[in-house]
Amino acid sequence: MPLPLVLAQLEAARDRRDPAKWRTTRGLLSLTGAKFINWNQGVGGGGAIDLVMHVQQVGFGQALQWLEERFAHLAPAQPVSMSPTQPLTLPPPAPHNWPRVERYLLEERKLPRALLAPLFQSAIIYADARANAVFLLLDPHATPMGAELRGTTPTAWRGMTAGSRKDRGFFSIASTPCQAIVLCESAIDAISCHALHPTFRCLSTSGARPDPHWLSSLLQQPLPILCAFDADPTGDAMARRMIELHPSIRRLRPPAKDWNDCLRRHGS
């Protein structure tokens, strides 16, 4: 669904000087095809559902209902051909930018050096040419399936690299011994949660998603699984939906807004 149509229904105003930018109740958004980024909050997403969830601050079900009420008439009468999957394009490593990215992760995000060092040495985390922190999503064979990107410049932002397949892989930080598998919303939250709970294997779902495709294989392991999504309306709603779909999963709600906030408070 074209995002400009959705934004118009959300009563957003197109910027007169830049038609790719829209002014919303959540701040200034830029559109690139089916993707958007909120420059005021440093948050990005893709698709109409993500956009409604972000602007309206509602959960998945509420966003879907909102769209159905306004755009049901746009549903195609005949099947449409699907475009081929966009190929994965990982940003090349830029080692000269790693000191800057590392400083951001250590000083601003308060991530422990002892956890970052092995991730960097194994190339699961690296810096790209734009000084973004790159967190690889790996499948069970350690093949990259995508990457989370986190900006470290004064205009902070986050997103996914082109062609990422969040249904086929995830960022993970392992634990030995492991007492539980914990699902977080981002790679930084996963590292933060592991720093606070070293016996947890912490994964990133790359956004609050209630039923990632790879979750079924984790449920077959003899370990408890905890949903540790953010302590906000979206995180709570997606956690409830995940538990509805998979009743064996339990909620682990962060005591602050997210796990990185918890870690920064813990170290202050």
> Which pLDDT tens digit goes with each residue over 94-125?
999 999 999 999 999 999 999 999 999 999 99
What b/e readout covers 158-172, taking b as 16+ CB neighbours within 10 angstroms?
A: bbbbeebbbbbbbbb
The pLDDT assigned to 211 comes to: 87
Q: How far apart are CA 225 and CA 227, in angstroms?
A: 7
Q: In this predicted structure, what is the pLDDT of residue 156?
A: 65
pLDDT at position 72: 64
Pair 30, 23: CB distance under 8 Å: no
| Residue 242, pLDDT above cutoff 80 | yes
CA distance 125 to 82: 33
* pLDDT at residue 186 tops 90: yes
In this prediction, residue 160 carries a pLDDT of 87
The residue among 54 and 189 whose pLDDT is bigger is: 189
- Report residue 238's pLDDT band, with 50, 70 and 90 as the boundaries: confident
The secondary element (H helix, E strand) that includes residue 119 is helix 113-121
Q: What integer pLDDT is reported at residue 66 of this predicted model?
A: 84
**Mean pLDDT over residues 118-136, rounded?**
95
Over residues 27-34, mean pLDDT: 84
pLDDT grade, residue 268 (50/70/90)?
A: low
CA distance 162 to 23: 25
Identify the DSSP state of 16. Answer: S
pLDDT above 80 (res 255): yes
- What pLDDT score does 73 carry? 54
Asked which of 44-58, 226-240, 248-262 is least confident by mean pLDDT, the reply is 44-58
Please name the helix (run of DSSP H) or strand (run of DSSP E) that holds residue 248, with its range, or none. none
Q: Does 1 score more than 80 pLDDT?
A: no
C-beta separation of 218 from 225 below 8 A: yes
Fill in the DSSP letter of residue 75.
S
Three-state DSSP state, 252:
coil
**pTM assigned to the model:** 0.71
Whether the pLDDT of residue 80 is over 60: the answer is: no
Residue 20 pLDDT exceeds 70: yes
188 phi and psi, to 5 degrees?
A: -65, -40
Q: Which of 132-146, 177-191, 229-243 has the lowest mean pLDDT?
A: 229-243
- Does the pLDDT at position 4 exceed 90? no
Q: Across residues 5-15, what is the average pLDDT?
A: 86
pLDDT at 43: 75
pLDDT at position 10, please?
86
Q: Would you place residue 258 in the very low, low, confident or very high pLDDT band (cuts 50, 70, 90)?
A: very high
More confident residue, 64 or 178: 178
